[in-house]
Amino acid sequence: MIDLHLSPEVARAKASGAPLVALESTIITHGMPRPQNIEVARLVEGDIRKAGATPATIAVIEGRLHIGLTGAELEALAQARDVAKLSRADLAVCLARGGTGATTVAATMIAAHLAGIAVFATGGIGGVHRGAEDSFDISADLPELAATPVTVVCAGAKAILDLPKTLEVLETHGVPVIAYGQDNLPAFWSATSDLPAPLRLDNAAQIARAHRLRAALGLPGGQLVANPIPAADEIPVRTLAPLIETALAEASAQGIAGKSVTPFVLHRIFELTEGRSLTANIALVRNNARLGAAIARALSKS
């Protein structure tokens, strides 16, 4: 059996059956610039506590799989350089080498499930990259959603991706994509896209029920809840679209590939929007944390 290292707060919550919400760490190490990354990590944990659940930020530190980080561990991770980005393929190797790494959506789902945590809040999942017909770049987050029974709350797939292809792959794998409270699919920095969402639910209790019923039906895998960014914080698609084009063209001209694509493009969009993308990213992650806590509470009651 894998030796999970629970933080004292997470251990207490588990012992008392209190609702827990998992959080990923790649968003801290690769998704946001310093020093905002640590500030956001703390804010998001605080949002979950205020909403009546316990946050469990997940990472590998010196070869141990941590479920929940202390304040000092969170800070050390946010400041560390050259932290590995761990997806499904990388987890076991990082543990075997005694390494330190931040977990992506896929790896966070795996760890959350091992720890008995059913709900996970993040910003945006990885998906099918534009041009995937040539590059074959499809995030391991998608098959993970098909395999691991965790409900993931995000703000839609990042608009740097090919959203229609991302929906198609999720449909092929039988992953429910549930827009929260609206008919259209949210697109991360923007509250809506021109794509209808495959499914819609309007409250946390229904999402919790659907989570339970998937298991009751014997279906493996999780659910993807797409929660629109609050209107006041969104960046309209027309503002963002040309900047995304620029960032993607630069990535391709510079030969950025594989794991580096998403962090590179997010950073360039941060620069090209003069920080506005980060403000939006912070607002949507916090919004997802609150919804995740509500779902975790509903699940713990049912």
**Residue 281 interface partner, choices Mn ion, ligand PSU, none, CB cut-off 5-8 Å depending on type:** ligand PSU
Which CB, 223 or 262, lies closer to Mn ion?
A: 262
121-160 mask for Mn ion (x: CB under 5 A)?
----------------x-----------------------
- Give the integer Cα–Cα distance in Å for 78 and 102: 10
210 burial level (CB within 10 Å; 0-12, 13-18, 19+)? middle
Q: Which residues contact 182 (CB under 8 A, 6 or more apart)?
A: 191, 192, 197, 200, 228
The SS3 of residue 124 is coil
- Least Å distance, CB 41 to ligand PSU, is 12
Kindly state whether residue 83 participates in binding ligand PSU, applying the rule CB under 6 A.
no
> Of 9, 14, 158, 259, which is the active-site residue?
158
Q: Which is nearer to ligand PSU, 157 or 293 (CB)?
A: 157
- Sites for Mn ion among residues 229-248 (CB under 5 A): none
Binding of residue 290 to ligand PSU (CB under 6 A):
no
List binders of ligand PSU among 149-188 (CB under 6 A): 158
CA distance 189 to 155: 8
Active-site residue flag, 75: no
- b or e along 141-153 (b: 16 or more beta carbons within 10 Å of the residue's beta carbon)? bbbbbbbbbbbbb
DSSP label at residue 57: E
What is the number of the residue whose Cβ is closest to ligand PSU?
31
Which residue in 65, 86, 62, 94 sits closest to 76, CA to CA? 62
Told to check if 104 binds ligand PSU by CB under 6 A, we report: yes
Answer yes or no: is 150 a known binding residue.
Answer: no
Q: Is 263 exposed, middle or buried (0-12, 13-18, 19+ CB in 10 A)?
A: middle
- Cis bond leading into 35, ω under 30°? yes
Closer to ligand PSU by CB, 14 or 30: give it.
30
The answer to whether residue 31 forms part of the interface with ligand PSU (CB under 6 A) is yes
- 55, 68, 101, 123: which one binds ligand PSU (CB under 6 A): 123
**Would you state the structure tokens that stand for residue 34, as one six-digit string?**
């310093």
Is 158 annotated as catalytic?
A: yes
E strands, the chain, where?
Answer: 4-6, 20-23, 54-61, 64-67, 84-86, 101-103, 119-121, 151-154, 177-180, 199-201, 223-226
C-beta closer to Mn ion: residue 147 or 294: 147
Known binding residues for substrate:
85, 105, 139-141
Known binding residues:
85, 105, 137, 139-141
Residues that bind ligand PSU (CB under 6 A): 24, 26-27, 30-31, 104-105, 123-126, 139-141, 158, 259, 262, 266, 281
Known binding residues for Mn(2+):
137
